[in-house]
Amino acid sequence: MRRVPLLVSLVAVALLSLVVVGRSGPVTLAQEGTPTTAGSPTAEETQTVFVRQDPALGTILTDPNGMTLYLFTKDTMPGESTCYEQCAQAWPPYTATEPLVLPRGVPGELTTISRTDGTTQVAYNGIPLYYWARDQQPGDTTGQGVGGVWFVVAPGAAFGVAASPVAFPVASPVASPAASPVAEGTVEVQLSEFTVTASATTFTVGQAYTFTATNVGGFPHEMVIEQAGAMNEPLDAEGQAAEVGPLDPGGSASVSVTFPEPGNYQITCHVRDHYPRGMALTIRVVE
């Protein structure tokens, strides 16, 4: 009589253990890499540079807020900056403190440069990284080509390699056309490892669009539509969050969005560390 409840509880404990084990090691997550430890800062917050898809320029490096980072072709020694005083006012060095972390899967290394004012500038593969003072929002790339010596930086870029036209070693499977404003209608979004592409990237304020996301990759992905540089703060879409998913591979879902004001927005996936790894496509909304 007494042994029955004991057996039952043992079985219950065994089942509970199975559930816990099953939760800690789903196959899809294990294949993708080390899971983020609960309670630690999220992977999105611990990367020094982020990878972003720009409709016109392709895959580029930004700071964690989504502000574009540039290289200066007059920096001729790896790991040394020649941009000071007036130059550094227009092109502020990207400074950060250790530890410097590259998103997983992004080739190369980050190092530091000790500037003469004591600040620490970040270099990628020896390339000193800068902001452009006239970029106002995350996703702006107005510094590209200025003076013929300032250019965005692609993941995998090597020091001293001609930067224009920009080559993108981490290529998107499908190019995102830099479209003019589109009419009201459906926008096809493709999610994969680790890019977001869309059939249109320029939109009009106040128009209703239906964004249909399809997961063409091999891992679960979601689609979040938000202000450029936001960290998983979806827009309001008719009283609901402008997000769908996570979608299993092959899955598809839609959300309707009306952009409230002009500016830069982004289509992202915030599953795990997909956002800093490149699942962020800048889109632009105009009057």
Site string for Cu ion, 209-228 (x = CB under 5 A): ------------x-------
DSSP secondary structure code for residue 93 in this structure? B
Stretch in the footprint of Cu ion (CB under 5 A) among 3-11, 22-30, 172-180, 262-270: 262-270
Q: State yes or no: residue 269 binds Cu ion (CB under 5 A).
A: yes
State how far the alpha carbon of 53 is from the alpha carbons of 182, 235, 275, 284, in Å: 19, 20, 11, 12
- Of 21-29, 163-171, 251-259, 272-280, which part binds Cu ion (CB under 5 A)? 272-280
Which tokens sit at 191?
A: 């999610």
Give 221 or 284: the residue with its C-beta nearer to Cu ion.
Answer: 221
Q: Is 52 or 221 the residue whose CB approaches Cu ion more closely?
A: 221
In the complex, the smallest distance separating the C-beta of residue 36 from Cu ion, rounded to whole angstroms, is 13
Please report whether residue 270 would count as binding Cu ion according to CB under 5 A.
Answer: no
Q: Is 277 in the site for Cu ion (CB under 5 A)?
A: no
How far apart (Å, rounded) are the C-alpha atoms in residues 287 and 285? 7
Pairing of strands 110-114, 70-72: unpaired
Least CB distance from residue 99 to Cu ion, whole Å?
A: 24
Is 271 among the residues that bind Cu ion (CB under 5 A)?
Answer: yes
Using the rule CB under 5 A, give the single segment among 123-131, 152-160, 234-242, 275-283 that binds Cu ion.
275-283
Least distance (Å) from Cu ion to the CB of residue 265? 18
Q: Please choose, from the candidates 221, 253, 224, 247, the residue with its C-alpha nearest in 3D space to the C-alpha of residue 236.
A: 224
Minimum gap (Å) between residue 33 Cβ and Cu ion: 13
Instruction: Determine which residue in the list 274, 281, 282, 284 makes contact with Cu ion, applying CB under 5 A.
Output: 274
Query: Least Å distance between CB 194 and Cu ion?
Result: 7
C-alpha torsion sign, points 211, 217, 221, 227:
negative
- Give the whole-angstrom CA distance, residue 188 versus residue 186: 6
Q: Which residues contact 216 (CB under 8 A, 6 or more apart)?
A: 173, 190, 191, 192, 249, 250
Task: Report the first-to-last Cα separation within the chain, whole angstroms.
Answer: 77
Shortest CB 206 distance to Cu ion, Å: 29
Which residues make up the interface to Cu ion (CB under 5 A)? 221, 269, 271, 274, 279
